[in-house]
Chains A and B, each alone.
Chain A
Amino acid sequence: MEIETITDAFDTRVDDALSWIGDNGEWLFDAIRAVLEGTFDGILWLLQLAPFYVVAVLMGLLAWRVINTTAGVLTAAGLVACAMMGLWAETMSTLALVATATVLALAVGIPIGIVAGFSQSLDRFLEPLLDLIQTLPPYIYLLPTIALMGYGPATALAATFIVAMPPAIRLTSLGIRMTPSVFIELGQASGMTSWQMFTKIRLPFALPSIMAGVNQSLMMAFGMVVIAGIVGSGGLGETIYGAVRTLDIATSINAAIAIVIVTMVLDRLTQNAARNVKAGVQ
């Protein structure tokens, strides 16, 4: 048999499978879509509840508490700049997308990571899968999702969710596996139950690694959310995509600046939160 015949047959199978899933799994994807959009709408509603200056001041205060005064001032100023560029609604929309996708990715990724930390076989099974997810170009995930869930934020969220999950799984699993053996021994010698060992020994020692995973997930989500502008995610990604198509360089640069500001604010916030956790442990 010619090699081309084999690959053609494979491609046909993939297409068939996708349409079969699309036909038969409609209820499932409608449900997923409802959950994703529901969460997204809720978070977006919350973010748009207050005028931009209130949000800017609140974020500034948070950065001041978690990092320092300079970071607080810069955060507030950066968010005000987003509003002044006329991109406040888009910025909040992007923030809501990132938050939704990251929260869901963590909610699924951290428990999987914990189980993988205990189970060598699950970890060995996940390792190549996560490698695959992380090496494929991220917009690959847009195609099947758009086929199954259509144009709109739900597709963007699903693709972002897939991209944001691997670091959470990896770093949680690593953190659980890296518990220093003397403390395991201490727990055993003190007569701990497995649950006590998990909550009092393994989890506290894994926390810095888990927090690093949260930060990494967030950064992956930011990268993806911009790409997801192509499938109608709304927010800054779509603004950039639109600007690229019409060669509107000024708007694309404004949107890019807004993305950089939001990304840096959230990166620094989570990084410092992780560092504070670490300082508590060591």
Chain B
Amino acid sequence: MNRIQGNAMSTAISDTSEVLVECRNVWKIFGARATAAVKAVSERGLSKRQVLQDFDCVVGVSDASLKVHRGEIFCIMGLSGSGKSTLIRLLNRLIEPSLGTITVKGRDIAKLNAAELRDMRARNIGMVFQSVALLPHRTVLENAAFGLEVRGVPKDERNKTAKAALDKVGLSDWTSRLPNELSGGMQQRVGLARALAADPEIILMDEPFSALDPLIRRQLQDEFRQLTKSLGKSAVFITHDLEEAIRIGDRIAIMKDGVIVQVGTAEDIVTRPADDYVAEFVAGISRIHLVKALTVMQPVETFATSHPGIDVSSLMQATPDADIAALIDLTMKSDRDAVAVVEDGRIVGVVTTRDLLCGVAGTPDIHPVAA
């Protein structure tokens, strides 16, 4: 019952806002006989393995559907070869889909002509690359102004905008330097500033922080999330690191062999992995900031039967979205071994220390045979 509630809540929040990017049953098949393979897929519903066997074609993305809402950071997590880089390139048509439709702001991007496509890329969708791709013979400022230069914005105006963008990423003192004078982390900030300067609604991040050392990476992850949220941008963020996806993403899609295995919030994925593959990934993730009271609590009646002597209303109270760390804190302050979960002034459940332990370990709650 709790499970259903959790899912309903997380989708309810995102469904209220406008869908910016949508993929519907998108396939990308690479190979000499791709056209024949696509035909076979659409007519006979061939599987990935059959496509490889019968047509000698590699399936990059297989039947992917997803929605990215306005203001959302959507992470796509997968190992190398999972098709995540192909999928992100389908979103701005750097790669043409073999099958399926992709809409950006409600427009089918396959139907755009060359000029419309250029305009969409220049205005609506920015992109940040893992290799940063700063032009080595241009200064930091000129690099940040690159997108605006392409659009034909006059020099004074684009330099002003680029300077403001560099200011946002904390590099306003470095404008006249060349890229090779900057550290890896700073270079990636310039890459982000370049994308922000063009003021797109959607930013595609292609494993931007993968090549950075862990400390800088964390710092940039936090800065990126904060910046994106404060500017009201939407982002699709590719990563091979689940921890990064959890840190940054509002929702996460897990990809394996070209297939989106699961889409959900960090909590959904950690507490309810769709299959063994996801479960294996999730195993090493610390749950204390992810798992919420709503997931671990037990119904009031159950608590009342097993603890007849305790009055539920006398317990310390927490909200349904308090995480395990917060609940542990409350339990430590309380003289009881349980915390009441309160929603709209009503007690909806109780979290015992036992529930907390189950939440941390990720094991299902097995109620003791004898109390």
Contact = CB atoms under 8 A, between A and B. Distances in A.
Interface of A: 180, 182-183, 185-193, 196, 200-201, 204, 280-282
B136 A192 contact: no
Contact of B137 (A188, A192, A204): A204
A191 B133 contact: no
Contacts of A183: 133, 135
Nearest to B127: A189
B94 A190 contact: no
Interface string B91-105: 010100000000000
Contacts of B137: 204, 280-281
Which of A185, A193, A204 is packed against the most chain B CB atoms within 10 Å? Answer: A185
Given A196-B150, A204-B137, A280-B137, A189 B118 contact: no
Contacts of A280: 137
B27 interface: no
A204 B204 CA distance: 26
Contacts of A187: 150
Interface of A, helix, strand, loop or mixed by DSSP: helix
Given A182-B129, A186-B129, A282-B180, A192 B135 contact: no
B136 A188 contact: no
B121 interface: yes
Contacts of A200: 149-150
A187 B129 CA distance: 12
Interface in B143-188: 146-147, 149-151, 180
- Scoring B92, B137, B180 by chain A CB atoms within 10 A of each residue's CB, the highest score goes to B137
B110 interface: no
B217 to A, nearest CB: 20
Nearest to B204: A189
Given A182-B129, A185-B129, A186-B129, A191 B119 contact: yes
B120 interface: yes
Given A189-B94, A204-B137, A281-B136, 5 more contacts: A182-B129, A188-B94, A191-B120, A204-B135, A281-B137
A188 B120 CA distance: 11
Interface of B: 92, 94, 117-123, 125-127, 129, 131, 133, 135-137, 146-147, 149-151, 180, 198, 204
B94 A185 contact: yes
Contacts of B136: 281-282
A188 B121 contact: yes
Contacts of A201: 135
A185 B122 contact: no
A185 B133 contact: yes
Given A185-B94, A282-B180, A190 B147 contact: yes
B360 to A, nearest CB: 42
B135 to A, nearest CB: 7
Of the candidates B126, B147, B198, the one having the most CB atoms from chain A within 10 angstroms of its own CB is B147
A190 B129 contact: no
Nearest to A281: B137
A205 to B, nearest CB: 9
Contacts of A185: 94, 129, 133
B184 to A, nearest CB: 15
A183 B131 CA distance: 10
Contacts of A204: 135, 137
A280 B123 CA distance: 30
10 contacts: A183-B133, A186-B146, A188-B94, A190-B147, A191-B117, A191-B122, A191-B151, A201-B135, A204-B135, A281-B137
Contacts of B125: 189
A196 to B, nearest CB: 6
A236 B192 CA distance: 59
Contacts of B147: 190-191
A157 B118 CA distance: 47
B338 to A, nearest CB: 54
A189 B146 CA distance: 12
Contacts of A182: 129, 131, 133
B150 A192 contact: yes
Contacts of B127: 186, 189-190
B118 A192 contact: yes
A123 B125 CA distance: 35
Contacts of B126: 189
A185, A189, A200, A282 — most chain B CB neighbours (10 Å):
A189
B180 A186 contact: no
A180 B126 CA distance: 20
A204 B136 CA distance: 10
Nearest to B151: A191
B204 to A, nearest CB: 8
Contacts of B204: 189
Contacts of B129: 182, 185-186
A190 B121 contact: yes
Contacts of B151: 191
